[in-house]
């Protein structure tokens, strides 16, 4: 149906409901001559007379009776469809694709994300767990979760929690055999387990916040891994001293499997952020996951 036909049907039904051109004009918030003109144009487009009009009364023609029955049904169906659209907009539902690094899923947000799925069963949550940076727009992904400095500049970023502390750690066995380092520089005389970033290939330094400013220690030698779980396992096995986000080893520190070193000197990273393309926040399912994942503190999942 053309736009002019919808407008004409609206005028026709308003006249029928009101019982007069003046009443229809009031309902449509227009002047009575405009109603008369639009009704005449609609009748001309159909090639029939819908309403017999005199100065005192209005009556439907045969064609008007047919249109009233069908038009009322059509607008009723349209109202139902519009109500359904409004209901879906207000009730979170539909697919939601989110990408996040494996360590974030395994150690920080995994259980909370699945709790979100349980809380919103009408949303079909799809997690793309990968450490590589992806173009979420090109791949049709709704949102990503990363540390702030890994987010593209053209994205909207929402903080999910406070900054995440880093930690230096070793097993009690390693410290018994090799002694405990008293200052960051002592790490140069220890076996340190290094983490290699997959994208850049660089080794993560051991960074500290001292009174003199940021101090970076770059131990040489020792084992190298490109997976945080492998680094944690090596430290638990007594291979050497490791450096990771504290939530990834918090449980091990609490149960005594690892000993935390230099707590007062370890810095924090900006924290976890959910990011999405500009304009996507209108989707109700994206807004509810943001609210669900916002937490006062982000802790490791044991």
Q: How confident is the model over 60-101, as pLDDT tens digits? A: 888 888 888 887 777 677 666 655 556 565 678 889 999 998
Residue 123 belongs to a domain with what CATH number?
3.40.190.10
Domain check: are 48 and 78 in the same one? Answer: yes
Whether residues 255 and 169 share a domain: the answer is yes
Pairing label, strands 242-245, 164-170: antiparallel
Distance CA 177, CA 247 (A): 26
Does residue 136 contact residue 99 with C-beta atoms inside 8 Å?
yes
How many CA atoms does the CB half-sphere of 9 hold within 13 Å?
18
- Which CATH number goes with the domain that contains 33? 1.10.10.10
137 and 105 housed in the same domain:
yes
Residue 113 has pLDDT above 90, yes or no: yes
Does 157 lie in the same domain as 172? no
Counting other chains too, the contacts that 110-118 makes at CB distance below 8 Å and 24 or more residues apart are: 110/301, 111/301, 112/292, 112/293, 112/295, 113/293, 115/292, 116/289, 116/292, 116/293
The boundaries of the domain holding residue 203 are 164-269
Confidence of residue 184 (pLDDT cuts 50, 70, 90): very high
* Residue 301: band (very low, low, confident or very high) from pLDDT cuts 50, 70, 90: very low
The pLDDT tens digits of the residues spanning 134-162 come to 788 888 899 999 887 667 767 888 888 88
Q: What is the pLDDT of residue 87?
A: 57
Per residue in 24-57, pLDDT tens?
888 888 898 898 899 899 889 888 898 888 777 7
Quick one: which of 249, 254, 252, 247 has its CA closest to 272?
A: 247
User: Half-sphere exposure of residue 21, counting CA atoms within 13 Å on the CB side?
Assistant: 18
Residues 144 and 187 reside in one and the same domain: no
Q: Name the range with the highest mean pLDDT among 82-91, 103-112, 149-158, 256-265.
A: 256-265
Residue 301: inside a domain, yes or no? no
The mean-pLDDT minimum among 64-68, 80-84, 172-176, 187-191 falls in 80-84
Residue with the bigger pLDDT between 197 and 159: it is 159
Which residue reads 């994208």 in tokens? 199
- 201 shares its domain with 216: yes
Q: Which of 90, 113, 129 is the last residue of a domain?
A: 90
Residues 133 and 277 in one domain: yes
Asked if 128 and 144 sit in the same domain, the reply is: yes
Both structure tokens of 102:
């494996």
Look at residue 135 and tell me if it is in a domain: yes
Predicted pLDDT of residue 297: 34
pLDDT at position 46, please?
Answer: 86
């Amino acid at each position: 149906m053309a736009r002019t036909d919808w407008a004409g049907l609206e005028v026709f039904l308003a006249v029928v409901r009101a019982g007069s051109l003046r009443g229809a004009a009031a309902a449509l918030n227009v002047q009575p001559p405009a109603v008369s003109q639009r009704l005449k144009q609609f009748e001309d487009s159909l090639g029939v007379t819908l309403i017999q009009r005199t100065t005192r009364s209005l009556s439907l023609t045969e064609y008007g009776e047919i249109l009233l029955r069908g038009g009322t049904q059509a607008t009723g169906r349209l109202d139902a469809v519009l109500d359904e659209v409004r209901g879906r907009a207000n009730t979170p539902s539909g697919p939601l694709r989110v990408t996040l690094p494996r360590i974030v899923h395994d150690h920080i947000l995994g259980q909370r994300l699945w709790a979100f799925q349980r809380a919103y069963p009408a949303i079909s949550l799809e997690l793309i767990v990968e450490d590589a940076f992806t173009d979420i727009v090109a791949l049709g992904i709704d949102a990503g979760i990363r540390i702030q400095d890994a987010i593209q500049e053209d994205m909207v970023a929402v903080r999910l929690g406070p900054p995440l502390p880093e930690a230096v750690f070793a097993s009690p066995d390693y410290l018994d055999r090799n002694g405990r380092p008293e200052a960051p520089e002592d790490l140069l005389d220890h076996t340190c387990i290094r983490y290699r970033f997959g994208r850049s290939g660089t080794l993560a330094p051991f960074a500290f916040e001292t009174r003199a400013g940021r101090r970076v220690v770059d131990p040489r030698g020792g084992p190298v891994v490109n997976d945080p779980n492998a680094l944690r396992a090596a430290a638990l096995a007594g291979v050497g001293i490791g450096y990771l986000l504290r939530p990834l080893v918090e449980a091990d520190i609490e149960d005594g499997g690892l000993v935390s070193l230099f707590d007062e000197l370890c810095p924090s990273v900006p924290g976890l952020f959910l990011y999405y393309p500009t304009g996507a926040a209108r989707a109700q399912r994206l807004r509810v996951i943001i609210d669900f994942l916002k937490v006062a503190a982000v802790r490791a999942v044991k």
